[in-house]
A and B are shown apart, each in its own frame.
Chain A
């Protein structure tokens, strides 16, 4: 089915471990985004990408790494997970055509770091 999918949906890991969250979209959208959602903070932008091999920092990029070798994939890696990175992570995408196009969100990954 067309759309945007995130995997895994749930993940539990330990501090210091590396973890990668996957995001895949089938629309060939140019723009992709990673957000984290925490109570009291709403959605905060971690990184975004305008196209393959073009990424840029958002509001809270520290501790995260992204890559975008293919248009459809935008993985987010926590190189050494910390408890403060426990959160719900949302990936989103949007077309690069027109300023009036919405972002489409994936279902989220709930990440717990023990």
Chain B
């Protein structure tokens, strides 16, 4: 079953912050985050593992709450280049089978 992402879409002004959530009905081992521009392949952002620390990369960071089976992606001081569709991909323990959410469309306006 696909993880559920929220919100489905969000529009921001440059410099504003956003949070994208990913929830699963199953116990998770890892969560991957990807960004996809229109007509292009998904591009890797970061991975969070069970028991791992919160990750950060420039002004994009993510957390992983194992108990709630949730992950959140934080976009700080958004830039025009952040526009795209964000996907979370999840795997359960003992498998490399990754199931992706339905995506969150993010649009940053000047």
Binding site for B on A (CB under 8 A): 31, 33, 35, 40-45, 48, 50, 56, 58-59, 90, 94, 96, 99-108
Residues in chain A near residue B97, CB distance under 8 A: 45, 48, 56, 58
Tell me how many residues of B have a C-beta within 8 Å of chain A.
Answer: 22
Partner of A100, one of B2, B43, B47, B102: B47
Binding site for A on B (CB under 8 A): 2, 29-30, 32, 40-44, 47, 49, 52, 87, 89, 96-103
27 contacts between A and B (CB under 8 A): A31-B96, A42-B87, A42-B100, A42-B101, A42-B103, A43-B87, A44-B100, A45-B97, A45-B99, A45-B100, A48-B96, A48-B97, A56-B97, A59-B2, A90-B41, A90-B42, A94-B96, A99-B49, A100-B30, A100-B52, A103-B89, A103-B98, A104-B44, A105-B41, A106-B41, A107-B41, A108-B41
Q: Give the docked Cα–Cα distance between A46 and B10 (Å).
A: 29
Cβ of A23 to closest chain B Cβ, rounded Å: 12
Query: Contact: A43 with B42, CB < 8 Å?
Result: yes
Residues in chain B near residue A44, CB distance under 8 A: 2, 100
Query: Contact: A102 with B47, CB < 8 Å?
Result: yes
**SS class of chain B's interface: helix, strand, loop or mixed?**
loop
Q: Give the docked Cα–Cα distance between A106 and B99 (Å).
A: 17
Q: Which residue from chain A places its CB closest to the CB of B43 in the assembled complex?
A: A105
Q: Give the docked Cα–Cα distance between A92 and B2 (Å).
A: 18
